[in-house]
Amino acid sequence: MPTNNLISKSLGSIELGSGNGTPDHISPKGSLYTDTSTGTPWVNSTGNASGWEPLLKPGYGEIYLNANAVSTTFSTTNTWVPTNSLSWSNAGFFNGFTQSGTSSSIQVLTGKSGKYIVTLNGSIGNPASNQTYEIGVSVNGATPSNNMYQAATVLFLSPADYRNINVSGYLNLSDSDTISTVVRCTTATVSVNLRHASLTAIKIY
């Protein structure tokens, strides 16, 4: 939404302004503007109407699995299964997220909505050989979007073999949204051990 209800005051060679909506007005380089409808602060880096950039409001969170020994069973082929039965940990690496107990989900706190880069790294082991496994990032328990899951078809030579799967993409997250790790096997009704994993979200703006 373009700026409306704009109010601005000069402060030396810059301007301080506020209004409703994304800034689209000309201001001197270095000027500051606050969108009062979202609370988002902006800075003008060029002096042009197109030079506005949002100032980062820090938001980040991470949970992880370490040497998990509990397998996830797939009773239906090609169906995403949550990993809430596993004990996810955190090292207090939260600013804008919260985790309930050992849940596989982390939730966006009030005022921390925005665009995030989300990364999921996982190693799978002890599966049935020659099957295709996928891990993905679910938002609010939904099926992962096309950019938020990856697959590996593996031939395991022994139970000690593991295969890494990495997922990375951008998500628009709103207050109270949750993100979590889900897994599936697209080729059989078998099981897999998500041995090590980390789910990380870092706010871009």
Q: Report pLDDT for 162.
A: 83
Per this entry, what is the length of the chain?
A: 205
Read off φ and ψ for residue 199, nearest 5 degrees.
-120, 115
> Are the beta carbons of 175 and 114 closer than 8 angstroms?
no
The domains found in the chain, sorted by start residue, are 4-54 (no CATH), 60-203 (2.60.120.40)
CA 177 – CA 98 distance, rounded (Å): 11
Q: Report pLDDT for 85.
A: 93
Q: Which regions of the chain are under pLDDT 70?
A: 1-2, 156-160
8-state DSSP, 89: B
Tokens of 111: 């005022």
Cβ-based neighbours of 64, under 8 Å, separated by 6 or more: 88, 89, 90, 91, 196, 197, 198, 199
- The model's pLDDT over 8-66, given as tens digits with 9 standing for 90+, comes to 999 999 999 999 999 999 999 999 999 998 888 999 999 999 999 988 778 999 999 99
Q: Report pLDDT for 93.
A: 84
CA 8 – CA 72 distance, rounded (Å): 57
Phi-psi region for residue 3, left (φ > 0), alpha (ψ -120 to 50) or beta? beta
CA distances from residue 172 to 26, 52, 167, 175, 193 in whole angstroms, order as listed: 28, 20, 16, 10, 30
Read off φ and ψ for residue 78, nearest 5 degrees.
65, 35
Q: Residue with structure tokens 């207090």?
A: 92
β-sheet bridge partners, residue 184: 134
Q: Report pLDDT for 57.
A: 73
CA 109 – CA 179 distance, rounded (Å): 12
Q: Report pLDDT for 159.
A: 60
Q: Report pLDDT for 102.
A: 94
Q: Report pLDDT for 154.
A: 73
Reported pTM: 0.78
